[in-house]
Amino acid sequence: MSPPNSPPKTPAVPRISEILRTHQVIVCCGAGGVGKTTTAAALSLAAARAGRRVLVLTIDPSKRLAETLGVERNPPEPVALPADRARVAGIAAPGGLDAWMLDHKLVADASVRRLTKSPEEAEKVLDNRIYKHVSTMVAGMHEYTAMEALYRLVNEGRYDLVVLDTPPSRHALDFLEAPKRLSRLVDSRAIAAFLPSSDGFVARAASKVIHTVMSAVFGEEFAGEFTMFLSTFSALFQVLNVEVNTMRDFLSGPNVAFLLVTSPAPTTLTEAHYFQDKTRELSLPFRGFVLNRSRALNGRKAMPDSSLGGASPSPALQSAIAKLQAAAAVELELAGRDLALLRDLEVRAGDGATAIALPDLPTGADDMTTLMAVADVLDAS
């Protein structure tokens, strides 16, 4: 693994441009629909242009963004940004940008193969009817596979920086919470209760209640199958539990940065507050807020004045400019509101973290030109 350029400094408000040059992992968290994926892509692009070998691990990119990054066919391995685009983007060796669209089933299958003792045992697990559905059904499984892929790719040492776009969810916190829920489920004592041969009277009584409940709810046949599934998996789950803890430790390290991507909404500050508290509680290195789709920077633009029409404007141009001025006043007010929100986020971020704004782009930011523009803003932040 190549050494990080310099050990990331703590205190003093970090800059995004610094984070993307020094850290090994950037985790982009955020609720669905705030532009997390494009932010992750733009961050990666900026880091690659700065000469780093970067991988962006995306979960659910729009079709156009997947095309831009060259991952529309969902390849099993990370793929390099097509050469023509890398050239346009100004990425040159040693810098490079790979992208990978995370396939949860693929990652889960690979983990099963790695964690089981023999190929036969692996096949037994992979063939299980419940397992075949489980990777899409278990809450926290997507978050787990994302973390697992991240951990593996970072440790392989092929990349200086891996940027993770977290799975879509209602809450930005889901990514942080999910592994805990998963490890609670796979805790060996919890599983033991579902298995037939537990020791001791209390365990037997509890297991009897569970068996009665399971049969009543699922019917005898499925309940039996479920018990089979759990006993096949119990050994695997124990290893998994250890892994979840290892990964949590890894994510608490100083080379990792958690960013919250958000957009202007009445709940933005509340969300930011929760996120910051939660990362602190879990000892995860929170490094900043990215206020996306914001008009905060628009206030820097000029107000249109009447001279725009030149010396002798036509009546149509005159009335058009009057309307433009009215719209400009409204836009200025909106810009002021978003700027105030950004200032609040800066205060909230405190010393160890930053708060930056990215522009609202109604045509989306999933083509190369726009992504580059967003990367410029990030690199200047």
Q: Which is nearer to another protein, 160 or 366 (CB)?
A: 366
Nearest to 267 by CA among 180, 170, 356: 170
Could you tell me whether strands 79-80 and 96-101 are parallel, antiparallel, or unpaired per DSSP bridges? antiparallel
Q: Name which of 87 and 301 has its Cβ closer to another protein.
A: 301
- The least distance separating another protein from the CB of residue 8, rounded to whole angstroms, comes to 31
Shortest Cβ distance from residue 348 to another protein (Å)?
Answer: 17
Cα 26 to chain center, whole Å?
9
- Give least dist CB 340 to another protein, A: 16
**Distance from C-alpha of 11 to C-alpha of 284, rounded to nearest angstrom:** 15
**Cβ-based nearer residue to another protein, 92 or 308:** 308
Closest approach of Cβ 211 to another protein, in Å?
11
Least distance in angstroms from the C-beta of 32 to another protein: 4
Q: CB 94 → another protein: shortest distance, Å?
A: 33
Taking the complex as a whole, the smallest distance from the CB of residue 128 to another protein amounts, in Å, to: 11
| Shorter beta-carbon distance to another protein: residue 96 or 167 | 167
Nearer to another protein, 80 or 368 (CB): 368
Nearer to another protein, 92 or 216 (CB): 216
Closest CA to 207 of 183, 181, 231, 184: 231
Cβ closest to another protein, residue 184 vs residue 204: 184
Nearer to another protein, 92 or 326 (CB): 326
Least spacing, CB of residue 214 vs another protein, in Å: 9
3-state secondary structure 241-261: HHHHHHHHHHHCCCCEEEEEE
Q: Residue 288 in contact with residue 23, Cβ under 8 Å? A: no
Closest alpha carbon to 149 in 181, 180, 111: 111
Residue 249: both structure tokens together: 């430790």
In the 3-class helix/strand/coil scheme, how is 157-223 assigned residue by residue? CCCCEEEEECCCCCCCCHHHHHHHHHHHHHCHHHHHCCCCCCCCHHHHHHHHHHHHHHHHHHCHHHH
**Angle ∠(145,181,62) on CA atoms, nearest 5:** 40
DSSP letters for 56-78 = EEESS--HHHHHHHT-TT--SS-
